[in-house]
Structure 1
């Protein structure tokens, strides 16, 4: 697992389309999320982890970076290319979608 901060993520989102997964619960996601993020809750990981493609890079985020780090560690062990967004939504300085 590698990490990026929210400024690096914002730049990456400007430059290209990335696979951004928000692992918070749906009620948290609808309160505000990064544009382009898809919601795949940590609590449902066993249901969606096999949907990820091995040849893709995934960026994971949550509220503070802790839950996404746990998911990132597991997915990295399964052979996926994962970046954890340090600081999560709390560190995101840009606009959020609802």
Structure 2
């Protein structure tokens, strides 16, 4: 999905790597999380928030901003 056209400034961090690579993200920034349809982004947002990140999920996924 990332190769289909990432959002400008996006960081590609798969859900399976998220807990092991929090240093890839800036805890000072608001983080918008997205995936194709929204389910993985929802889980990623929960993980990030539970670790103190200011994270938000893009409802309904990537398809809502890039039809």
- After TM superposition, the score normalised by the length of structure 2 is 0.78
Give runs of ≥4 in structure 1 deviating > 6 Å. none
Q: How many residues align?
A: 67
- Higher strand fraction (1 or 2): 1
Q: After superposition, what is the alpha-carbon deviation per residue over 1:52-96, rounded to whole angstroms, capped at 9, x for unaligned? A: 3332211111001110110101110111111111111111147xx
Stretches of structure 1 that go unaligned for 5 or more consecutive residues are 1-27
Q: In the superposition, relative to structure 1, how do residues 80 and 32 fare at CA in structure 2: closer, same or farther (>3 Å)?
A: same
Q: After superposition, what is the alpha-carbon deviation per residue over 1:33-60, rounded to whole angstroms, capped at 9, x for unaligned? A: 2233221111211332233333221111
Aligned-partner Cα distance in 2 for 1:93–1:52:
23
Which is greater in Rg? 1
Stretches of structure 2 that go unaligned for 5 or more consecutive residues are none
Relative CO higher for 1 or 2, CA cutoff 8 Å, sep ≥ 6?
A: 1
Q: Which residue, out of 35, 40, 45, partners 1:62? A: 35
